């Protein structure tokens, strides 16, 4: 039987990436908290056989995906959905830190 995640107090000023839920704390879910400074990006990567939701808490940025003709611009509060098998990248296009929580789960 899998252990349930622990309740954790999150300090958003300490890190640029914090894993919120690890594989051994969940059946299938992986989640984290990300801070990108102005001009920074996560880096192009693929969801592969997973879907992802990004909950934008602060700042503004762009979401590029290989399925989009141009990057999609967003500003907090916003939610960005990335479907399975999609190459994508998140970039901070603003002048202040971009902060978001992401959650990723396998599709099967």
Task: Give the CA radius of gyration of the chain.
Answer: 14
Task: Using a cut of 0.85, tell me whether the model's pTM lies above it.
Answer: no
- pLDDT tens-digit map of 10-57: 455 555 667 777 666 777 888 889 999 999 999 999 999 999 999 999
Q: With respect to residue 80, please indicate whether it lies within any of the assigned structural domains.
A: yes
pLDDT at 80 over 90: yes
Rounded CA separation 72/56 (Å):
13
What is the domain extent for residue 64? 17-106
Q: With respect to residue 78, please indicate whether it lies within any of the assigned structural domains.
A: yes
CATH number at residue 97: 2.60.120.10
Q: What is the pLDDT of residue 67?
A: 87
Q: With respect to residue 39, please indicate whether it lies within any of the assigned structural domains.
A: yes
Domain count, the chain: 1
């Amino acid at each position: 039987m899998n252990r349930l995640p622990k309740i954790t107090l999150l300090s958003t000023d300490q890190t640029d990436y914090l894993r919120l839920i690890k594989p051994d704390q969940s059946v299938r879910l992986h989640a984290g908290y990300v801070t990108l400074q102005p001009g920074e990006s996560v880096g192009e990567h693929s969801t592969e056989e997973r879907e992802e939701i990004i909950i934008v808490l602060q700042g503004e940025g762009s979401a590029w995906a290989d399925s989009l003709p141009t990057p999609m611009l967003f500003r907090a509060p916003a939610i960005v959905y990335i479907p399975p098998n999609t190459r994508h990248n998140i970039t901070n296009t603003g002048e202040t830190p971009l902060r978001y929580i992401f959650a990723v789960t396998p599709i099967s």
